[in-house]
Amino acid sequence: MTAATQPEAAGDPNSHRARKRARTWTAIHLAAAEAAATHDRLADVTIEAVAEKAEISPRTFFNYFRSKEDAVLGLRGAVIDRDVAAGFVVEPGGDLVEKVAFLLLAVFRTSNHRQISQQHYVELMDRHPELARKRFQHVDDVEALVTKLVTDKLAESEHWRATHAEHSAEDTARMIVTVAAAVMRMAMRPILAHPGQTEADADAILHRTFALFREVTHS
């Protein structure tokens, strides 16, 4: 199994065990965010203190988060659900850039579950610059994951190989992901400005942003 086709957490998300894990995950995240908000240096925030606040052991902490920075930001490891990966098909005439943007958005949604307000999040980023570096690294990880999947899908497509023999699948995938990510970032501005919006609202904004992108690039 490649990194691009890892399944999401298995099991029924409504089971007692899944709900308990979700509560523990949230408790650790909130404890880490609170600790970061009350310390001038993130280096002074210890996993032991976060674990004690969340009423878990330090060893258990690493069953939920890879680092204290991930815990503060509410980040999970980026994965693409196996079914989503299988359903991603390069189709002749399709808008592959928009399709990739929605794939990026889906991965960000499954890997970012912060339970703090946008204002609190921004304040933490300002207080601790290393969190910004972690955030950028997470974005890079997501884009690399999606690039790998798109590369594989292009290489598997007989139509794409026949019509783009002069280009490498990897270079093409990188270009597509770069453009898709740029348009998605523009769409995220109104989404972040109104955090109460539903996923359907966010999807509609992304669709409208791509309509503008197509209009601008084809004018």
pLDDT greater than 70 at residue 8: no
Q: Is-contact 100 180, C-beta < 8 A?
A: yes
- d(CA 70, CA 212) in angstroms, rounded, equals 34
The whole-number average pLDDT for the span 175-191 is 91
pLDDT in tens, 55-83: 999 999 999 999 999 999 999 999 999 99
Domains of the chain in sequence order: 9-68 (1.10.10), 82-217 (no CATH)
pLDDT for residue 183 is more than 80: yes
Q: pLDDT at residue 9 above 60?
A: no
For 95-121, letters b (16+ CB in 10 Å) and e give ebbbbbbbbbbbbbebbeebebeeeeb
Q: Render the burial of 27-48: b for 16+ CB within 10 Å, e for the rest.
A: bbbbbbbbbbeeeeebeebebe
pLDDT in tens, 113-168: 889 988 899 999 999 999 999 999 999 999 999 999 999 999 999 999 999 989 99
For the chain, how big is the Rg over CA atoms in Å?
19
In the prediction, which pLDDT does 129 show?
A: 94
Written as six digits, the tokens of 112 are 């970012």
* pLDDT value at residue 195: 62
pLDDT value at 16 more than 80: yes
